[in-house]
Each structure stands twice: as structure tokens, then as C-alpha cells.
Amino acid sequence: MPTSPLATDLSSTTHGRRLSGGVARAGLLLLATGALALTALLSLRVGSVAVSSRDVLGALFAYAPESYEQTVVRALRLPRTIVGAGVGAALALAGAGMQAATRNPLAEPALLGVNSGAAFAIVTAVYLGHLAHPLQHIWFGFLGGLGSAALVYAIGSAGPGGATPVKLALAGMVVSALLGSWTTALLLLDQQALEVVRFWLVGSLAGRDLGVFRAVSPFLLAGIGGMLLLGRHLTVLSLGEEAARSLGMHTGRVRALVVGLVALMTGAAVAAAGPIGFVGLAVPHMVRGLVGPDYRWVLPLCLVTGPLVLLGADILGRVLARPGELPVGIVTALLGAPFLIALARRRRGVEP
Amino acid sequence: MRPGRGRRLVRVGPVSAQVDLRAAACTALALGALLVLAGWGLTLGRFPIPAGDLVRALVGRGDRETAFILLELRLPRILTAAMVGAMLAMSGTIFQGLLRNPLVSPDIVGVNAGATLAAVFWIVHRLPAAGLPAAAFLGALAAAGTIYVLTWRGRIDPMRLILVGIGVGALLNAGTGWLLVRYSIYQVSEAVLWMSGSVYASDWQDVGVLAAGLAVLAPAGAALMGPLRVLQLGELSARGLGMPVERTWLALTAVGCALSGLAVSVAGPVGFVAFAVPHFARMLVGALPSPEFYLFSGALGALLVLAADLFAQHALPVSLPVGVVTAALGGPYFLFLLYRTSVRR
């Protein structure tokens, strides 16, 4: 089987504009953190109910339950913002981990079949049990995502070569297609399930409360923390199989660990917000373009930039379609696609 | 010139050609199986028709009721399923060869996403059903054209095409997703039915469109396999051999898009076939792109989709769209082949 040209490096276009040196990178990290704080505040302010900055601060630090505006902030927008931040961070870090572990700049967490596994589990649960409470969806989604990721990894790593990127991608595509076809069959048989699931399937933060965050946060935090510790390993792994081995790394074990963390984080993120595309693909790209391929810097920046992008998209969705809102999964596609196209067009063609 | 490995020089009078015997034999085998399966499929259904009546009706001597069921209901559906499968598989063979990437399918040039957005728009707005295939076909062409134009910078770079394809595809899918959450559940479930890909209620008009397309595009694609093989040597080598690279690219893309666009416009996006059948074909005959390989993969696609449709109609307690079953049927086999080839290495 020919090696995949997907594995050519895309970030080569941004040579010469990369920041080098610890001070510049730390400055960038600080800048992004500031921007994230502002975006989070904006996410508390913007929406169909107009809320002043004073009410936002009041709701955060001196909550007065009798104020309608403060209640909106506290009960609706704060949980939504927290869930969005957690999901954004998880998706961006999971994307960075996947791209390094598979040496495929187009890898994204969905490659492991997590999305289709979660969708299949949720639809099956709705079909069989007519679940009422959204928190139940979360557990089915989470377990379904983990299950399909495990299946993809087991199939993709069978045989002497281990989990090569192409085998992993093929297994992921086939398992996704398989689960997707079962999901479609159930949706065709059960209109009720379609009604419940179609809003989940576009990926949205609307109506996510703190119960949702509490349910997924242990997995999100464990995944995020674990991935942040692996910066050095990811840098070595992204040098390629042979280089990493000759540096003394047990690549199979590290790759399995990375994939496990990715499945954990993505499963939790998908369960909480539905399948949201492009954050896991575009954010690591953007970050690598800025600070270069050293994952000790890429990962912390992803941790900050992921939530920044996801919350920004969510705010935009609320502004663009007032008084309703565009689901954040649609906004990330609307924003991410032109970005990807521009990136692709800037790339100089490489003679094969 | 000496024939390559596994190939024989075949002479018929003044004409001679190199033929990959293994692929040719497998093609004949697959076509034979297709014929048997189609014949068997004609006898199946709520109104079982014994083989004797089947033959009588096909030569025009059966009673009118049997003839109607066979010729107006079952035969068009079987022909549609087989041709849709063949066209998707051929299209997949072209794109996987052209982009030299085993992971792509015609979806990458936006054919499915464009057709789906147009068709879903058509369905949720309750526009006349007769125009649906044309709308889907135009959507597919518009998407593919957009992607081609956005990728073009003096030449087509395969990696850039993949990236632009993913981007445009995501935009179109976001549009479809938006339509699916905005409209009432009744229209949306109709749209989901189309999106799952089915050959239900195919008529002779569908068969005519597909047959005309196949009659032009199958030979055109087969003739382009030689240039494709040269192209796979690398662009520099192809230019060095005097090949007009841009024109060859355009011709291959156009044939590939037309094949899958026609199939999708009639049957909806039947998943998995275009992506997986070229793999099946490669794992079975292990060939470089050649006319024989291309036709073999077409025959295999026809076989898979026809088998899936018969299974979806008759083997399950509820009849399902064929697109739901292709992956369910082909997926496990694909994983088995993947496992076996990787273990053998």
C-alpha cells in the first residue's frame, strides 16, 4: 500500500515567521491567555438577553438571585462557557496529540471513530430506552466513543507493523462507516430518535448546564493533564518512527498512551457538546505555525487557544442568528473551512 | 516490448494488447456472479416467481402480471443498483489512483456533500420530486467545480486538492446540518432517507440515465488508466515523457466526478462503496491501475451494491435503504482483509 501523502508537512509555509526563543513564546502564551479571559467575559455578556458588564461581574462575585440578568448569566451562560472552554481545550489538545502520534497533519480526534461511536450509542439508547434526561445521553455517548476508539485501535494495530498511521486511519474510516450505517438505520426506523439526536449531531453548547460539566470533567481534566505531561514525548514521536526509536523511545507504548488520552478527552467532549469539527484540526496547525514543532510549547498554547476559538465561535453563533443561534458546530465549520482553504492555497506545491 | 509480470500478450489478427490475465479472469468471474445474483434477485420478493416463469417473462411469453412485476419493478431496481455500484467503484478507483492516496473517495472532491446539500434543500422546501436528481447532479458538479477552481494555481497539487476538498466539504455539510435542524421533523426524516442512499422505486428513466452515462464513462475511464499510470510515476517524469499533465488531470477528474455525480443523483450518497471497493480489488488482484483493474473494480462494486440491496430488501425484518447496508455488509469483510494483509506482512 502506498504511503499516504497526507503525511506531508503542511506547516512548512509558515517558515520564517515562527517565534523562537522562550521569551517570545511565553509572551504569546500570556497574550492568548488574556484574550481567552476577555472572550470568556464576552461569552457571559452576549446573547439574546442584554446583560451589562456590571451584571456579569455581579453574577460572578456578588450574586444577587433576584436580578433576572444575573440569573441568566449564572444559570445559563456561565455553565455554557465552562463547558465550552473544557471542550475546546480537550479537542485542541487531542488534535495535537493525534497529529504528533500519527505524523499526519490532517489527523483529528474524529479519526478514531469517537464521534460515530458516541452517536451510535446515543441513538441506540434513545431507540431502545427512550431516554429522557440529557445526562443519560452523556454516559452513553462517552462509553460509545471509548468503545469505538478501542475497536479502531485494536484493528489498526493488529499485525506485526503495529499501529501505523495508514492502518489506523483505514480502520477508523471503516469502523465509522459501519457505526454510521447502523445509526442511520435506527434513525430511519425511529423518528423520535431523529428528533432528539439531530440537535446533538450538529454539535452545540446550547442548554449545557453544570451537571454536564460535572459528569465529564474528571475525564476532561485527566486527559488534558496527561497530555500536557507528554510534550517532550510528542516532540520526539513527531520526528518519525525511526528517529524516535533510535533516541530510545518505546514508540508503541507512547503511541498507545497518546491514543488512550485522546479517546478519553474526545469521548468526554463529544458526549458533552456533540461532534464539533475543525477545532481539533485547525488549532494545533495554527499553533504549530506560530511556535514551531516543539510540543512543549504547542500543548500549552493549544490549551489556551482551543477554548478561545470554541468560545469565539459560540459567541459568533449567538450574534449572527439573533434572537436564535447557530449551533457552534456549524460556526466552527464556517470559520475553519476558509482557514483550511487559505492554508492549502498558500502552500507551495511540492513535486512528488 | 515484453509483457510485464502477470500479463500476457494477446493477439487477435492484426491487433495485439497486453492483458492482465488475473484481473481479466476475476472480472469474468465477478460478472458471472453478478448475472447469477441478478437472476436470483428477480425471483425474490413478496410475489415469488419461479425460474421457469422468469425465463418465459423475460423472452416475452409470460403472463402480464408477472411481466409487470419483473420488468417494471424488479429489473429496473436491480439494474440501477448494479450500475450505481459500478460507477461509484470506478470513480473511487480513479480518485485513489489520481491522488495516490488510499484514503480518499469521490467525497473528497465534494461530490457527495454538494449533491446532498442541493437535494436536502430541494426536499425540505418541498420542491417537485421530479427535479430532485437534476438538482443533486448540479449540486455535485458545482461543488466539484468550486473545489477544482480553488485548488488550481497553474497546476493541481494533490495534497492541496485534498485540503481544499475537506474545507469545502465541511462548509457544505455545515449547510446541510443547518437545514436539518431548522425544518420540521417530517421533511427532515424524508431528507435523511435520501441521505442514506437508496435505489427504492427506481424506474426505467433512472436506468436510461445511468446506462447512457456508463456507456460513455466506463470506456473513457478505462482509456485513461494508461495515462494515470504514467502520472503516478510523478509529475516530472510524466512531463518528461511528454504528457500534457494538466489536461490529463482535468480529464480524469471530470470522468470521476461525472461517474459518482450521476450515481449519487439517482441513488443518493451510497456510502463506503467508492472508498472500499478499490481496496477490495487491490487486495484481490493486487494490480496497478490498468483498464482490467478498473473494470474489475466496477464489476466488484456492482456486485457489492446489488448484494447489499437484495439483503436490505429481503433478509431483514424491515426493508432498509441500500446505503445503510453497504457498510454493514462490506465493513466487516474490509476489516478482515485489512487484518489478513497486515498479518501476512
Each residue's pLDDT, cut to its tens digit, for chain A (352 residues) gives 333 334 444 444 444 456 667 788 888 889 999 999 999 988 888 877 778 888 888 888 888 888 888 888 888 888 899 999 999 999 999 999 988 888 877 778 877 888 889 889 988 888 887 666 667 778 888 899 999 999 988 888 876 666 677 777 778 888 888 888 888 888 888 888 888 788 888 888 887 888 888 888 999 999 999 999 998 999 998 888 888 889 888 888 888 899 899 989 999 998 888 889 888 888 998 888 888 888 999 999 999 999 999 999 999 998 888 777 889 999 998 888 888 888 778 765 433 2
Q: Could you tell me which chain A residue has the CA closest to the CA of B97?
A: A2
CATH number at residue B126: 1.10.3470.10
Q: Could you tell me which chain B residue has the CA closest to the CA of A188?
A: B193
Burial class (CB in 10 A: 0-12, 13-18, 19+), B13: exposed
Alpha carbon distance A79, B129 (integer Å): 45
Interface of A with B in 301-340 (CB under 8 A): 326-327, 329-330, 333-334, 336-340
Instruction: Please answer yes or no on whether A4 and B103 come within 8 Å at the CB atom.
Output: yes
**Cis check: omega of the bond before A323, within 30 degrees of 0:** yes
Q: What pLDDT does residue A335 have?
A: 87
Q: Which of B181, B279, B324 sits opposite A198 (nearest CB)?
A: B181
Instruction: Please answer yes or no on whether A349 and B272 come within 8 Å at the CB atom.
Output: no
Question: Do the domain assignments include residue B301?
Answer: yes
DSSP state of A112: G
Question: Do the domain assignments include residue B1?
Answer: no
Question: Do the domain assignments include residue A11?
Answer: no
Q: Which residues of B touch A187 (CB under 8 A)?
A: 189, 192
Instruction: Please answer yes or no on whether B338 and A351 come within 8 Å at the CB atom.
Output: no
Q: Which of B185, B272, B326 sits opposite A195 (nearest CB)?
A: B185
Selected residue of B100, B109, B324 to mutate for chain A interface (largest A Cβ count, 10 A): B324
User: Cell digits for B129?
Assistant: 420530486
Alpha carbon distance B94, B105 (integer Å): 9
Q: Can you tell me whether residue A4 is helix, strand or coil?
A: coil
Q: Tell the residue number behind the cell numbers 435503504, with chain if given.
A: B321
Q: What pLDDT does residue A4 have?
A: 38
Q: What pLDDT does residue A61 have?
A: 84
pLDDT tens, residue by residue, B308-320:
999 988 888 888 8
Q: Which of B101, B160, B168 sits opposite A349 (nearest CB)?
A: B160
Q: Tell the residue number behind the cell numbers 483505514, with chain if given.
A: A170
Listed residue (A188, A182, A158, A272) closest to A223, CA to CA: A272
User: Cell digits for B303?
Assistant: 456486485
Quote the pTM value.
0.82
pLDDT tens, residue by residue, B226-253:
899 998 888 888 888 888 888 999 999 9
Other Cβ atoms within 10 Å of A134 Cβ, number: 15
Q: Can you tell me whether residue B169 is helix, strand or coil?
A: helix
The range of the structural domain enclosing residue B305 comes to: 7-344
The range of the structural domain enclosing residue A213 comes to: 24-345
Q: What pLDDT does residue B62 have?
A: 76
Predicted-complex ipTM score? 0.78
Question: Do the domain assignments include residue A298?
Answer: yes
Residues 6+ apart with CB under 8 A from B48: none
Number of structural domains in chain A: 1
Listed residue (B293, B204, B297, B220) closest to B257, CA to CA: B220
Alpha carbon distance B154, A222 (integer Å): 48
CA A73 to mean position of chain CA atoms? 25
Q: What pLDDT does residue B341 have?
A: 67
**Sign of the four-CA dihedral B255, B256, B259, B260:** negative
Q: What pLDDT does residue A132 have?
A: 61
Q: Can you tell me whether residue A144 is helix, strand or coil?
A: helix
Question: Do the domain assignments include residue B165?
Answer: yes
Question: Do the domain assignments include residue A252?
Answer: yes
Q: What pLDDT does residue B208 have?
A: 94
User: Cell digits for A342?
Assistant: 487559505
Q: What pLDDT does residue A2 have?
A: 36
Q: Which of A2, A159, A161 sits opposite B102 (nearest CB)?
A: A2
CATH number at residue A190: 1.10.3470.10
Q: Which residues of A touch B167 (CB under 8 A)?
A: 336-341, 344
Instruction: Please answer yes or no on whether A337 and B151 come within 8 Å at the CB atom.
Output: no
**Sign of the four-CA dihedral A161, A166, A171, A174:** negative
Question: Do the domain assignments include residue B2?
Answer: no
Dihedral (Cα; B280, B283, B286, B290), 10-degree rounding: 10
User: Contact at 8 Å (CB) between A1 and B102?
Assistant: yes
HSE-CB for B243 with a 13 A CA cutoff:
23
Number of structural domains in chain B: 1
Q: What pLDDT does residue A226 have?
A: 94
Question: Do the domain assignments include residue B25?
Answer: yes
Instruction: List phi, psi (to 5°) of A189.
Output: -80, -25
Q: Which of B159, B192, B320 sits opposite A194 (nearest CB)?
A: B192
- The segments of chain B whose pLDDT lies below 70 read 1-7, 15-16, 287, 341-345
Question: Do the domain assignments include residue A29?
Answer: yes
Does an H or E element contain B8, and which?
strand B7-12
> Does A8 reach chain B within 8 Å, measured CB to CB?
yes
Question: Do the domain assignments include residue A262?
Answer: yes
